[in-house]
Amino acid sequence: MVSIEDVAKRAGVSIATVSRVLNGTGYVSEETEIKVLKAVKELGYAPHFSAKSLARKKTFNVGIVISYRIAELVKSDIGIFYRIILDAIQNAATIYKISTDVIILEELLNGKYEKFDGYILVGSDATEEYIEQLSAKSKLILVDHYIDGLRVDSIVSDGYDGIFYITKKFISEGFNRIIHIHGPLKYYGFRDRYHGYVSAMTKSGKLPILFEYDDLHEEIDSVLKRALRDWVPEAIICSNDPIALKVVHKLKEWGYKVPTDISVIGFDDIPAAEKEGLSTMRVQKVELGINAVKRMHEILSGQSIHPYKQCIYTAYIRRNSSII
């Protein structure tokens, strides 16, 4: 029988660290979380609480639903955010003895797949109407997505609080010219972060200055030229790391010093952010995946059936692209 000591040895960490990852207690780096979950999956380790709770249960089959858009994104560095979440879901499912299959949203819409015991829908590409229909006939959890008033189980990072926090931090340090470059607002995550920035600025009596940018379909040049047209901002807060990294590269190309002239902050903390010294708000991506599986297990086991929205706070990671 595989023991927790075996998992610790395979992952190259302490037993206490494995325990913290599996129980969600204490701080563990994202890289370490991934190592531990990978070791759990490879060794087929089942914690005692899981083995006991599942001894009398059937094996559940859960569909992990992503859109064609996200399926394409995860093939590139831009999609590392979703790739980490998907890996965490699949690794955590092993712990709970849940069988998973990654399926495509658009194909699910067309009735291609057989019925699953439940669905974990990652991302915000599904329409409200479809989510309402699916939740009415199946167990459903949304990850990185939430719809007002629908009352479907949702596991999200608190983007509103994250952007509100960092905006207020810069304001409290005496910064005035703070702008926000955000992704398309049809996506929940970008919309949530947008509202956090607007709220922080207006509550401090400052005018929000916003620029929308679709990093998949346009270049950063035109947006950044508009942002710099009238005056040089002191800080640019971006709604994800890929946008922020493009801003940093372009500013340096144009002769601006980052962070001396302009501080730049991203959101998500993807590996490229750490590699390039980008200050950012860290989304607990592994925890999003683990908690989605925990919640699905609760629902399928009838342990806690009332839906809820779980928000996981982000953490500010200061690196070389910001003054504070």
Under 8 Å between Cβ of 94 and 36: no
Q: How many domains is the chain built from?
A: 2
Residue 130: closest CA among 140, 116, 115: 140
Span 160-184, average pLDDT: 97
204 lies in a domain?
yes
pLDDT of residue 48: 61
pLDDT of residue 260: 97
Q: How is residue 142 written in tokens?
A: 């949304």
195 lies in a domain?
yes
Express as a percent the part of the chain with pLDDT over 70.
95
pLDDT of residue 52: 46
Is residue 229 pLDDT above 60, yes or no?
Answer: yes
Per-residue pLDDT reduced to its tens digit, 283-323: 999 999 999 999 999 999 988 889 999 999 999 999 999 99
pLDDT of residue 158: 97
Lowest-confidence pick of 21-25, 31-35, 177-181, 201-205: 21-25
pLDDT of residue 16: 85
242 lies in a domain?
yes
pTM: 0.83
Q: What CATH number is given to the structural domain containing 247?
A: 3.40.50.2300
Per-residue pLDDT reduced to its tens digit, 59-110: 899 999 999 999 999 998 888 899 999 999 999 998 888 999 999 999 998 8
Lowest-confidence pick of 21-30, 109-118, 125-134, 191-200: 21-30
pLDDT of residue 56: 43
5 lies in a domain?
yes
Is residue 240 pLDDT above 90, yes or no?
Answer: yes
Domain end among 262, 282, 302? 282
Span 200-215, average pLDDT: 96
Q: What is the mean pLDDT of the chain?
A: 91
Q: What CATH number is given to the structural domain containing 34?
A: 1.10.260.40
Is residue 26 pLDDT above 80, yes or no?
Answer: no
109 lies in a domain?
no
151 lies in a domain?
no
122 lies in a domain?
no
Query: Which is more confident, 146 or 49?
Result: 146
Structural domain containing residue 39: 1-45
Q: What's the pLDDT band for 24 if we cut at 50, 70, 90?
A: low
pLDDT of residue 7: 87
19 lies in a domain?
yes
Lowest-confidence pick of 105-119, 158-172, 237-251: 105-119
